[in-house]
Structure 1
Amino acid sequence: MNQELSPEQSAYIRKLAQRYVYYRKSAAIDAQDLMSAATLRWWQFCQRNPDLQDERVIQICFYQQVKGAMRDVIRDSSPVKVTRTMQAQMKAYQRPYTVELDHVIDIQAGEEHADYELWMDVVASLKKLPEREQLILSLYFERDFSFTEIAEILEVSVSTVTRAYRKALDAIKKDLAEPNLYAKNQSR
């Protein structure tokens, strides 16, 4: 297999690198970085597979290696300027966190739980909350963020976060006051 890039392959690498940099809209990487990574990955592939002769297979492998190399570089890069708010958002969640039963319940086979029904009622009540309130509770209880940190992440005031927190807890308490909430949800 020829390790030298053809003019068509070089043009493809250049065009793809420019497209990735354009859509990335970040100065953390440039087209030359991507082109170098793709060329190196292709050279390494050619070294590992010197006896490959089928042109169609070589072409498919070329596209896979080039795209994979560029995606790896982009995935490992980060924006040049990262604000504190952006850092907090990256540490927390990009999208509001919703509670799933499989994630919340950690019950081992054969264990006895006296409060199983109460726990299921709490989970069902959490699922009924709006996503923003679920996110606030998750950040507060699971991640141990303060209300100030949560306010920075959501880009709202601290009083808005505390009101939403209190509203969520009140909604859960109200739901738990209803008898056998979990059983009602299972029958639907």
Structure 2
Amino acid sequence: MNQELSPEQTDYIRRLARRYVQFRKSGSIDVDDLISVASVRWWQFCVRHPELSDERVIQVCFYQQVKGAMRDILRDSSPVKVTRTMQARMQAYQRPYTVELDSLIDIQAGEEHRDLDQWMDIVASLKKLPEREQIVLSLYFERDLNFSEIAKVLDLSVSTITRIYRRALDTVREDIAGHNYGEKKRSI
């Protein structure tokens, strides 16, 4: 089998690459990248299967290898424009934002903090929550998303998000209710 591309094959690869780049609008892949990926994949196929001699089989294999190579590389590339919904979804799948306790407490010299123990217990209770509840609370309080936006991000219903939110707050309330903080009783 000939490893060199014929003019018809080269023309096909170029047309297909232009079409894929036009539809994908990828920020990291261009026509030349797709042409080289397809050419390398075809060359590798020819090296692995030198015994093929039937022109019809070679042609079918050529189309499969070229399309497969281009689809693989495009699937792994990122699009130029990422919608806000997609950005929110990508952020939601990251672990909840965490900071060190020292920066959360923000103690300054000379200030008197009466509720420092309570604050430490709240932070510890939040860390004990399941990851899904931490994500909902993080998106609500830190990212300022409302329940319907959080529902879109996590692909859940608004009622499910509301239930998760309430369960998380109830868990934190119950966890810190067992501690005695003096006369003042604060609510979360």
> TM-score per shorter chain, which class?
0.5 to 0.7
* Partner Cα separation in structure 2 for residue 91 and residue 149 of structure 1: 9
Alpha-carbon distance change, 78 to 142 in structure 1, aligned in 2, over 3 angstroms: same
Q: Does 1:145 align with 2:138?
A: no
* Partner Cα separation in structure 1 for residue 5 and residue 40 of structure 2: 11
Question: Do the aligned residues in 2 keep the contact of 1:41 with 1:66 (CA within 8 Å)?
Answer: yes
Bigger Rg over Cα: 2
Counterpart residue number, 2:100: none
Between 24-33 and 52-61, the greater mean CA deviation after superposition: 24-33
Deviation at 1:84, TM superposition (A): 7.6
- SS of the residue corresponding to residue 52 of structure 1 reads coil
Q: Does 1:157 align with 2:143?
A: no
Alpha-carbon distance change, 16 to 152 in structure 1, aligned in 2, over 3 angstroms: farther
User: Where do 5+ consecutive residues of structure 1 fail to align?
Assistant: 94-139, 170-188
Alpha-carbon distance change, 157 to 10 in structure 1, aligned in 2, over 3 angstroms: same
Deviation at 1:90, TM superposition (A): 3.0
* Partner Cα separation in structure 2 for residue 45 and residue 167 of structure 1: 50
Question: Do the aligned residues in 2 keep the contact of 1:29 with 1:77 (CA within 8 Å)?
Answer: yes
Q: Does 1:71 align with 2:71?
A: yes
Counterpart residue number, 1:36: 36
- SS of the residue corresponding to residue 63 of structure 1 reads helix
Taking the TM superposition and a 5 Å limit, the aligned residue runs for 1:88-127 are: 88-90=88-90, 92=92
Q: Does 1:23 align with 2:23?
A: yes
Alpha-carbon distance change, 150 to 38 in structure 1, aligned in 2, over 3 angstroms: farther
Question: Do the aligned residues in 2 keep the contact of 1:85 with 1:152 (CA within 8 Å)?
Answer: no
TM-score w.r.t. the length of structure 2 is: 0.52
Question: Do the aligned residues in 2 keep the contact of 1:88 with 1:152 (CA within 8 Å)?
Answer: no
Aligned length: 123
Amino acid at match of 2:67: K
TM-score w.r.t. the length of structure 1 is: 0.52
Counterpart residue number, 1:61: 61
Over aligned residues, Cα RMSD in angstroms? 3.8
Q: Percent identity between the aligned chains?
A: 60
Question: Do the aligned residues in 2 keep the contact of 1:17 with 1:35 (CA within 8 Å)?
Answer: yes
Question: Do the aligned residues in 2 keep the contact of 1:151 with 1:158 (CA within 8 Å)?
Answer: no
User: Where do 5+ consecutive residues of structure 2 fail to align?
Assistant: 94-129, 152-157, 164-188
